[in-house]
Amino acid sequence: MKRRDLLLASAAVAAGTARAQIGGAPLRILVGAPAGGSTDTLARSLAVSMGPLLGRVVVVENKPGAGGNIAADAVAKSPPDGNTLLMSFTSHAINATLYPSLPFDPVKDFTPLTCVATSPSILVAHPSVPAKDVRELIALAKAKPGQLNFAIGALGSSLHMAGEAFKMQSGVFIVNIPYRGTAPAVQDVLAGQVQLMFAAIGNVQAHIKAGKLKALGVTSAKRLPEFPDVPAIAEVLPGYESSAWFGLFGPGRMPPELASRLGDAARKAIVQPEMRKRLDTEGATAVGNSPAQFSAFVDSEIARWGEVVKFSGAKPE
């Protein structure tokens, strides 16, 4: 091959790579949760907003199972070419301790792009529970150890760990009742079969307003505007805070320029009107931090939830 032909061929390969990274093949966002949940709906809204910003098609693929580990493993083993990303959630940090061995490193095998949003939860009780706030609940639980129950929608989830952190900091013994999904857990609390539950706000807000559930405390550091009369649990347990988070990752070893381009598009997408509307519907707050900030946040979350997982003695299903 002549030198001129070699240069042309090299240029064509470089151009093809650039098209794959910017505007050629569809960009896939893998989600380790079923369709219809918060992670899935936020990922789909993000994909719609990111597509025009990147000048390419962005699609969402659901790979649920193992607390998000199936999707995470697929992304960890993908080429760092910008064609495959992961929309992950709090379990990414929890699983680092919950699972005795993972097929990937939750830090080294991923490139953090941005934290999309955070979403606090709310501690609710069946109206028959004789406690009107967290302080009274703690007193009741200490007076009747093991007689109160927490409904757990999924073992190892952020809502499960919110309850474990509550028990760890308050020193109470409340029994966990695990369910296969949030919906049946909420239904049993509504029916009075189980007394208590940490729940996503979107899943119980209507029931609280209808008087079918009693709100005892929110897991955010401060009270929420939508529930101004519901104290933050931190008002009774200083330092208590537990929020679900949703973040965008690429595979490890992603070129910095490519990571910057994708992260910038995600941050711009987060402030788009449709994305803001979806966040409001999910009771979530937009974040859009830098890769360095998100990386430091993930490290701190792994350490924080590691302590709670060890306290709980939880094992993966």
CATH topology agreement for domains 3-119+244-312 and 121-235: yes
Is the whole model's pTM more than 0.75, yes or no?
Answer: yes
* pLDDT mean over 229-249: 96
| pLDDT at 9 > cutoff 90 | no
Look at the block and give the residue holding tokens 């679900």.
Answer: 244
pLDDT in tens, 122-176: 999 999 999 999 999 999 999 999 999 999 988 889 999 999 999 999 999 999 9
> Domain boundaries in the chain?
3-119+244-312, 121-235
How much is the pLDDT for 146? Answer: 96
Superfamily of domain 121-235: Periplasmic binding protein-like II (3.40.190.10)
Return d(Cα 12, Cα 9) in angstroms, integer.
5
pLDDT in tens, 66-113: 999 999 999 999 999 999 999 999 999 999 999 999 999 999 999 999
How much is the pLDDT for 17? Answer: 39
Please state the separation of Cα 317 from the chain's center in Å.
Answer: 19
Cα pseudo-dihedral 119, 37, 61, 91, rounded to 10: 50
Higher pLDDT pick, 2 / 113: 113
pLDDT in tens, 262-277: 999 999 999 999 899 8
| pLDDT at 186 > cutoff 70 | yes
Higher pLDDT pick, 279 / 72: 72
Considering the four listed CATH numbers 3.90.700.10, 3.40.50.300, 3.40.190.150, 3.40.50.970, the one that applies to the domain covering 3-119+244-312 is 3.40.190.150
How much is the pLDDT for 24? Answer: 66
How much is the pLDDT for 243? Answer: 93
How much is the pLDDT for 13? Answer: 35
Return d(Cα 224, Cα 207) in angstroms, integer.
17
Residue 66 φ/ψ region, left for φ over 0, alpha for ψ in the -120 to 50 degree band, beta for the rest: left
pLDDT in tens, 215-233: 999 999 999 988 999 999 9
Return d(Cα 244, Cα 284) in angstroms, integer.
9
